[in-house]
Amino acid sequence: MPKAKQKSNTASSLNLSAVTGAVADVTGAVAGTIKDVATLPLDVARAVGDEVQDILRRATNPLRTEFLLKDLLQVVIGATILAVPVGLSEESWRLANELPASRIATLAAISIIFIGTFVYYNYYRGTFTEHWDEYVKRVLSTYFFSLLVVAGLLSLIEVGPWPMDLVLTLKRTIIVAFPASMSAVVADTIK
């Protein structure tokens, strides 16, 4: 009989080790599942957070390097916002008579510098080397179309005598274009 008890103990220990191994496998699988379930919200939160950050980055810092038709319309409307009140004031007309051409040229240069600085910090700060040609196009287009809006307004109200006194009309146009170009570049940033 002692041999039979030995076989029974061996069979019990085999069954016990098999059960223990199965329990360990199940426990490991359950622990892995619990770990996966426990970390799932963190993984989802990270993914959602990354997506939200990407959306906010694109919304607050858009990479708009091209000067499109929409931008042109914004420039024209923005230039008109300040061209009308300044262009209708007699003070700006008299100022054009009194200021020398060198001061008017300096005012035009200051306008372009202001536009360039504003455009750089709003559109091209991190991408200037790749898009410098688009930067130049945006700055010069903004100033040029501001000048066109002002010239059209001054001609419309008949204080821009183009054929009679070209220099005076250009001086008036540049003086009124100073604030008009500033409002044009600000309006261009509207999405």
What pLDDT does 123 receive? 84
User: Buried b / exposed e across 74-105, counting CB within 10 Å, b at 16+?
Assistant: bbbebbbbbbbebbeeeebbebbeeeeeeebe
What pLDDT does 129 receive? 86
What pLDDT does 18 receive? 67
What pLDDT does 62 receive? 46
> Cα torsion for 145, 147, 150, 153, to the nearest 10°?
-70
What pLDDT does 140 receive? 95
Q: What is the pLDDT of residues 127-180, one digit of tens each?
A: 888 888 889 999 999 999 999 999 999 999 999 888 999 999 999 999 999 999
Nearest partner of 183 among 144, 142, 148, judged by Cα: 142
What pLDDT does 161 receive? 87
This prediction has a pTM of: 0.66
Q: How far apart are CA 119 and CA 139, in angstroms?
A: 7
Per-residue pLDDT of the chain (191 residues; tens, 9 = 90+): 555 555 555 555 556 666 666 666 767 666 666 666 666 677 766 777 787 776 665 555 445 667 888 989 999 999 999 999 999 999 999 999 999 999 999 999 999 999 999 999 988 888 888 888 889 999 999 999 999 999 999 999 999 888 999 999 999 999 999 999 999 999 988 87
